[in-house]
A and B are shown apart, each in its own frame.
Chain A
């Protein structure tokens, strides 16, 4: 049975936060979450988070977009109705390829960008009317909050956090 308690340690400086994260990690405590008002460089490395794979998905989406564009131009311009439009060659897709490049490029970018953004929304679970998960409204303004689940001695953890320069330490019951 794990306890239902978490500790919220609040900081008011990103450098102090970074040092605190490193210290807590060094003591082998699991950090559940860190809430920041702005991106702190190197925080993900310090917390040991795995690198994002969003760029890889974007690359795959780009290839998808390129394939769609190739199919679209080939089907409409070459296969379905090969009309002579201003003398442009329509005997094969390759013969008229330069004219299709702007479409190939734009659809590649379009697919890569939009699908990547949607992937980002889904993976980070944000959408309109989503209920905010802010433990403390000050974290959107000028405070940083580190959330640590209590496993084992509560006092030991609190005293460790007190040495890291936290401005406020709250023990919170979760439900």
Chain B
């Protein structure tokens, strides 16, 4: 039996306490009035200095479709530089709030800021000057424009502590849920190798109760308009007489309405938790070796997996895709699934390596670690495949109503957006391709840390642009959210692991798992003749 050490418990409690304090601070320090928001904006302007400050107000839209042929005809001196082609355009459009921007987008491709239309053909160097002129025009448009901008920024700043908490919460919930789903897949596939890991996966999935509760509270607060994460919940959005009326959202209100959204969310959370409760209870009951119990677990898991695949997809629409209600993508559910699945496998591997180093998993050998690392590798590639399939199809067709999603991410979140591809694809592929490396615990931990960080960033880039837009950062709020849910995870996992026998001794595949060996790797400290 495993003993949840006092030290680790203390660490978990400290993490949760620090996380709570930090989260409280980030809520407290968010601006409450328009004046405070303006003050912060003024500070940002001062920080950024001349040109960028202007760019804040009037992001230059570098239109890629600038006609090259025309340029070559009527300009002999101009040089075209790769990503910043000359901007052609005519007049200054007004600043559009993102909530309303989509209609405008169809014409101007404006995204969350004003689009600048410039009269003459310009080279890249000239574009700066033109921007300045355009900015002057923006200013001349009057006070109401600046007012609207400040109000927009205020909403984003007020959203930031909520979003910071939400990303960490979703990350924790998603990982825990996918550990449970992976566990289910092992039961249904009658996988022989992973039986010695069953109790580890069960222990991790006990975190589901806690994060589901946190999620439920969060969803109810959101439905009570405590935050503005979901613009389609806003006042008057579906009312044609309101200035906030949004025809696109109105067309989607049969799905995107607050009561339906809340009821669906409760159904998902309840379904997952009921399965987790039953399978844990029945798995412990199976320790007597009853094969009838084994079949019952199998049947329940088949039903759960069908339910899971449906609800996971819908939950990713409701909880993540609905943040950008004008945008949709058909493979979004699988993409979210892949993000959480690879993170879940990484977490299983890390917890297993930790527990094995404490000597409480005597049956786990290097081959089990190797298999987990293979899954981490394989699903990292799978994630990349889905990420790229989504990105490339949208980039290739370049339809304005879809492209804005990536335009915003590429313009405002360039570093995390690109870093994530390196962390989630190039790094694991190069690190975990070697068979020997996959069985080395410290290597798997190293790869795992980068993969987890990469997928946190992935979720960050999914949620943040739609809620805080340009006002994003990685500060106390974001770190505190992560700390709190990490502490909760440690507490839930290890206290659950201490409550049961680490070996599911009634499982008919236990012996197969115990003697599982992958021949191609070196087993350190183990008898190589053991087979």
Q: A and B: partners?
A: yes
Are A98 and B82 interface neighbours, CB within 8 A?
Answer: no
Contact with B along A79-104 (1 / 0, CB 8 A): 00000100101011011001101000
**B433: nearest residue on chain A (CB-CB)?**
A59
Q: Identify which of residues 208-238 in chain B touch chain A, using a CB-to-CB cut-off of 8 Å.
A: none
CB distance from B83 to the nearest CB of A (A): 6
Q: How far is A34 from B391 in the complex, measured between Cα atoms in Å?
A: 53
- The residues in B between 373 and 427 inclusive whose CB is less than 8 angstroms from any CB of A are 388, 391-392, 395-396, 398
Which single member of A42, A95, A98 contacts B531 (CB below 8 Å)?
Answer: A42
Taking CB as reference atom, which chain B residue is nearest A44? B519
Would you call A92 and B82 a contact (CB within 8 A)?
yes
Q: CB-CB < 8 A to A53: which residues of B?
A: none
A49-79 contacts to B, CB under 8 A, are 51, 55, 59
A-side contacts of B398, CB under 8 Å? 87
Would A98 and B395 be within 8 Å (CB), given that A42-B531, A45-B528, A91-B80 are in contact? Answer: yes
Among B64, B65, B519, contact of A45 (Cβ-Cβ < 8 Å): B519
Q: Are A87 and B65 in contact (CB under 8 A)?
A: yes
Query: Which residues from A are CB-within-8-Å of B528?
Result: 45
CA distance A41 to B531 in the complex (A): 10
Please report the C-alpha to C-alpha distance between residue A45 and residue B520 in the assembled complex, in whole angstroms.
9
Looking at the assembled complex, report how far the CB atom of A45 sits from the nearest CB atom of chain B, in whole angstroms: 7
Known: A98-B391, A99-B396, A101-B392. A91 touches B519 (CB 8 A): no
Q: How far is the CA of A94 from the CA of B65 in the complex (A)?
A: 16
Residue-wise interface mask of B (72-85) relative to A, using a CB-CB cutoff of 8 A (1 in contact, 0 not):
00000000111101
A-contacting residues, B46-86, CB 8 Å: 64-65, 68-69, 80-83, 85
Smallest Cβ-Cβ distance to B436: which chain A residue: A51
Known: A42-B531, A84-B69, A89-B64. A94 touches B392 (CB 8 A): no
Expressed in whole angstroms, the Cα–Cα distance for A51 and B528 within the complex equals 15
Min distance, Cβ A165 to any Cβ of chain B, angstroms: 19
CA distance A113 to B80 in the complex (A): 40
In the complex, chain A residues whose CB is within 8 Å of the CB of B396: 98-99
Compute how far the CA of A101 lies from the CA of B387 in the bound complex, rounded to whole angstroms.
13
Interface string of A31-49 (1 = CB under 8 A from B): 0000000000110010000
Closest CB in chain B relative to A46 CB, distance in Å: 9
A91 to B396, CA, bound (A): 16
Nearest B residue (CB) for A93: B82
Least distance between A65 CB and chain B CB atoms (Å)? 15
CB neighbours of B520 from chain A (8 A): 51
The reply to whether A41 and B519 form a contact with Cβ atoms under 8 Å apart is yes
User: Are A84 and B68 interface neighbours, CB within 8 A?
Assistant: yes
A94 to chain B: which residues have CB within 8 Å? 82
Binary interface encoding of chain A residues 103-146 relative to chain B, with 1 for a CB under 8 A from any of its CBs, else 0: 00000000000000000000000000000000000000000000
B329 to chain A, nearest CB (A): 16
Q: Say how far A8's CB is from chain B's closest CB, in angstroms.
A: 26
Which residues of A have CB within 8 Å of B65? 87
Could you tell me the distance between the alpha carbons of A101 and B392 in the complex, rounded to whole angstroms? 9
A55 CA to B433 CA, complexed, in Å:
10
5 contacts between A and B (CB under 8 A): A41-B519, A41-B531, A42-B531, A45-B528, A101-B392
In the complex, besides A98-B391, A99-B396, 15 extra interface pairs with C-beta distance below 8 angstroms are A41-B531, A45-B519, A45-B528, A59-B433, A84-B68, A87-B398, A89-B64, A91-B83, A95-B82, A95-B83, A98-B388, A98-B395, A98-B396, A101-B388, A101-B392
